[in-house]
Structure 1
Amino acid sequence: MGKLLCDPTAVAETFQTSSPTVTWREPNAATLEAVDLVDQTLTAAAGTTWDDVIGLEDQQRRLLSKLHAKGVLWKHPSEHGSSVVFRLSHGGDVSTDGNCLFTASKKAMAREVDARDLRKRTVKRFLEDLGSAKEEERQMINEVIKNMYSPDLRNGWGVHVVQEVKLLAKKDERVALDSAIEELVQLGMQRELVAESIYKERCIPVNDGSSWAKYMSISGSPDDEYDIVTLQYTEEGLLSVDENREGRAAAFGDDIAIECLATEFNREIYVDVLGWVEK
């Protein structure tokens, strides 16, 4: 996954520019595909190319190299004629866990900052914005969150093969939850079905702004208040229960988190998803 971070305004807390920016050359009615919009004399000086990055599939490498060569146009939302081309460059590797958005952003920072602190600031920004939103906006946000993490399993199968339901289990209640599950298993009930029932009954569903804030605060640290429990379903029914007994699962930064992180630092963040790269 590649990330572009660009600076539309000058603020004190800056992201480090990972590659040169150049003025956009208008294509004059030609398609963007057919026009080279980036001064290629700068490309040679940009440093590490995508050909040097290990762990990429050939198709991913071609797409990233093309994006690097062509650039991405950013136009100022209010200043007419003000535009910049940003080039996607490799800024370093990050682990493919739930903290990747925040560790990638940490690498892009011009100063030392902790990835967990970025996560906390993202959640704080979300709660502040949610608190100042109109009731209609809050309802819309809650609906988006519910669709992502507590979907209606009667729908969506034309798009998804597997759907997930996220639940939050308090760390200090895990022993009690395990005991309740084990008690029913001893009576001859199937463990996964028992676990599904107990977790759905006693854990917090991620289905609104308040529960999203709790969920997005989870970094997979022993200091987290909650553990993430994931129920996976196919159209036929329950597929698996990820109980996350060791509490190491972290909440992946979603579109809401990206927007809040960008707002917190007064930035535009573009995410180019080409698939996770396992190393």
Structure 2
Amino acid sequence: MGKLLCDSTTAAEPFQGSPSAALPWIDSKSPTQIDSIGTTVDLVVPTNLSNGAFTAGGDGWEDVIGLEELQRRHLQRLHAKGVLWKPPEMEDSSSSESDLRSVVFRLSHGGEVSSDGNCLFTASRKAMAVEDIDARELRRRTVARFLVDYGSVSFEEGEAIDDAIRHMYSPDLRFGWGIHVVQEVKLLAKKEDRFSLDSAIDELVHLGMQREMAAESIYKERCIPVNDGQTWAKYMLISGSPDDEYDIITLQYTEEGLLSVDENREGRAAAFGDDIAIECLATEFKREIYV
């Protein structure tokens, strides 16, 4: 997963000029430009450029591990060309808004981040160069922003947010199998309750129930489902640290029934930043984040 992060206050200012891109920008929505160049030109990479144009530079993409050569070349070309940002078109735009011009951003490799549930926050911290704020603090501020916004919306908007959260973390397992092969249900177990939960599971196992079936039964009965804004906030605060209040329990299902139970016994699982977290993080720090 890649993330593109830019300062939204900068993007909103008129374009004052920047170093020219290595490749000319061609607007695929501009009929005049398309007509003038014909229909055989690759809008991503003009065909008259040699392969050697991307071997030098690339702003670090050549050093990124785990990329196939084709992926690496696409990223180098995208870095050379840039990413075009256009101000949104509004029918009732004011004169100041109409003066906004397009901006071309460079897509650069900012460094490696761990591929765990904290990747959104560690990547954002690195991209924003905020040395005085760690990933856990970014989580906390993201959740705090969500709770402020969630508390200010109308009843209908709150219901829509809750529905989206239920769809992601507490799906109705009667549906969705035409799209998903596996669906997950997220539950929150208090760290201080883990011993009593284990004891209850062991009791059912001693009565002859299979371990996974016993665990599913106890966790669904005694743990908190992530199914609304308040429980989402508890979930998104989990960073896989011993200081977390809750552990994440994940139940995986196929259409036939229970597939597995991830009991996260060491408490290291972190909540991955979802679309809601991305929006709240961007709002809190006045950035634009594209994933």
Scaled to the shorter chain, the TM-score interval is: 0.7 to 0.9
Letter in 2 for 1:111: V
Counterpart in the other structure of 1:2: 2
Q: Determine helix, strand or coil for the equivalent of 1:9.
A: helix
User: Is 1:53 the equivalent of 2:64?
Assistant: yes
Which of these residues, 219, 222, 227, is aligned with residue 202 of structure 1? Answer: 222
Choose which of 64, 67, 70 in structure 1 pairs with 2:75. Answer: 64
Aligned 8 A contact 1:161 1:234 in 2: yes
Q: For 2:127, which of 108, 116, 127 is the aligned residue?
A: 108
Gaps of 5+ in 2: 12-17, 28-32, 89-96
* Partner secondary structure for residue 48 of structure 1: helix
Q: Which moved more, 1:21-30 or 1:115-124?
A: 21-30
Provide the secondary structure at the position in 1 that maps to 2:214: helix
Q: Once superposed, what is the RMSD of the aligned Cα atoms?
A: 2.6
What does 1:69-218 correspond to in 2, within 5 Å?
A: 69-77=80-88, 78-112=97-131, 113-218=133-238
Contact 1:72 1:87 in 2 (8 A): yes
Contact 1:74/1:84 (CA < 8 Å) preserved in 2?
yes
Structure 1 or 2: larger helix share?
2
Q: Is the 8 A contact 2:58 2:79 kept in 1?
A: no
Structure 1: how far apart are the matches of 2:42 and 2:147?
A: 41
Q: C-alpha distance in 2, partners of 1:10/1:34? A: 26
Matches of 1:168 and 1:220, distance apart in 2: 13
- Percent identity reads 72
Decide whether aligned partners of structure 1 residues 140 and 232 sit closer, same or farther in structure 2, where only a CA change above 3 A counts.
Answer: same
Instruction: Specify whether residues 76 and 181 from structure 1 end up closer, same or farther in structure 2 by C-alpha distance, changes over 3 A only.
Output: same
Secondary structure of residue in 1 paired with 2:197: helix
What amino acid maps onto 1:98 in structure 2?
G
Residue 251 of structure 1: aligned partner:
271
Bigger CA radius of gyration = 2
- Alignment-mate amino acid for residue 120 of structure 1: R
Give the Cα–Cα distance (whole angstroms) in 1 for the partners of residues 284 and 20 of structure 2.
Answer: 26
Name the CA distance, whole Å, in 2 between partners of 1:44 and 1:6. 26
Question: Match of 1:69, as an amino acid?
Answer: A
Residues 108-117 or 147-156, more deviating = 108-117
Assess, with a 3 A threshold, how the Cα gap between structure 1 residues 134 and 211 changes in structure 2: closer, same or farther. Answer: same
CA–CA distance in 2 between the matches of 1:245 and 1:263? Answer: 34
Deviation at 1:259, TM superposition (A): 0.5
Q: Which amino acid aligns with 1:75?
A: K
Output the amino acid matched with 1:252.
Answer: F
Number of matched residues?
Answer: 260
The structure-2 alpha-carbon separation of the partners of 1:99 and 1:157, relative to structure 1 and needing over 3 Å to count, comes to: same
Offset at residue 36 of structure 1 (A): 5.8
Stretch of structure 1 that moved more, 59-68 or 249-258 = 59-68
Give the TM-score, by structure 2 length: 0.82
> Any stretches of 5+ residues in structure 1 without a counterpart?
12-19, 272-279
Is the partner of 2:251 in helix, strand or coil? strand
Counterparts of 1:33 and 1:115, CA distance in 2: 40
Q: Which residue of 2 aligns with 1:34?
A: 43
C-alpha contact (below 8 Å) 1:49/1:90 kept by paired residues = yes
1:137-168 deviation line (CA, Å, top 9, x unaligned): 11000000000000111111111111100000
Q: Does the Cα contact within 8 Å between 1:21 and 1:85 map onto a contact in 2? A: no
